Amino acid sequence: MFFPSVRMRRLRNCRAIRALVRETVLTPDDFVQPLFICPGKNVKQQIESMPGIFRMSVDLAVVECLKIRSAGIKSVILFGIPEKKDETGEVGCRDDGIIQQAIRSIKKEIPDIYIITDVCNCEYTIHGHCGPLVNGVVDNDKTIQLLGRQALSHAKAGVDMVAPSDMMDGRVGYIRNILDRDGYHDIPIMSYAVKYASSFYGPFREAAQSAPGIGDRKGYQMDYSNSREGIREAFLDIEEGADIIMVKPAMSYLDIVLKIKENSDVPVAAYNVSGEYSMVKAANEKGWIDGQKVMMEILTSIKRAGADIIISYHSVDAVSLLAKGWY
């Protein structure tokens, strides 16, 4: 049956019918808000390339988490900027490290907020790479040992979930074994399983002060030309014990989100990264786009592609619009 009997516009001609047949709807439960934690007290530093996003000391991060929780967002992911960095990233494993302090402080004040931590070394190394260098190359096996120690220190501090983002081979299995050995069987692992070597990370590297001092990360992060390799990465991590698979970035990789969603039976997360966020903010400031409408369109597309979890710097803004009846 075709036109004129079939008229697709019948289901679009008013807001009520559009709402009845809408296939994808964002909810506050979809979102995770990233936070950058820095040393000191009463510190709130604007990140120039990410309008509205700040580095915050632990005390102000607690206040921010109260606001996030009251907005209806149940989960945050923490990134740490230590007072001092080292050659290997071992500073990130310390029980008194910046993230470990933040976990304890936030949980003390807001026990029901769900804390995820980024587990990586790039924020903690002098050279900005994701692990110790041997002859100028990140040593995979030495790195995963540090990641295991870092994840365990987060677990001891009270984290709810760990998220290794380094793209070292074998790190999910190593972390799972370390956590299980020490009795942390119930802490899930959200693996940055499909993390591309992307230019969209630029503002994040300013925020986390983690830009590589030498070379780049193409030797361990994925080539953005590849799709099948991403599926293989995801399934290897699932075999090693990953509970959730993440694709990063989101917007240019929605085909990968869809493929993993259709071919696996674990939840899929997508990271709407800093460059994606900053482009919207910059174009909105110029008056070239309606930032709110573009933001919601992007976030809906991420969920429509199959993401169960959306990590986004837009999270608080998006949930605020939902509370006002966006749809």
Q: How far is CA 90 from CA 35, 96, 149, 208, 224, in A?
A: 21, 12, 9, 17, 30
Cβ count within 10 A of residue 107: 18
Beta bridge partner(s), residue 36: 55, 79
Three-class DSSP labels, 72-101? CCCEEEEEECCCCCECCCHHHHCCCCHHHH
What SS3 state is found at 288?
coil
Question: Residue 80: which of 94, 69, 68 has the closest Cα?
Answer: 94
Distance of CA 41 to the CA centre of its chain: 25
In sequence order, what DSSP letters do the residues of 127-154 get, joined into one string? T-SSS-EETTEE-HHHHHHHHHHHHHHH
Active-site residue set: 195, 248
Cβ count within 10 A of residue 169: 16
Separation between Cα atoms, residue 19 and residue 9, nearest integer Å: 14
Largest CA distance in the chain: 70
Beta bridge partner(s), residue 289: none
According to DSSP H, which parts of the chain are helical? Answer: 15-21, 58-70, 98-109, 140-157, 171-181, 202-208, 228-240, 254-263, 274-286, 291-305, 315-323
**Residues in the chain, total:** 327
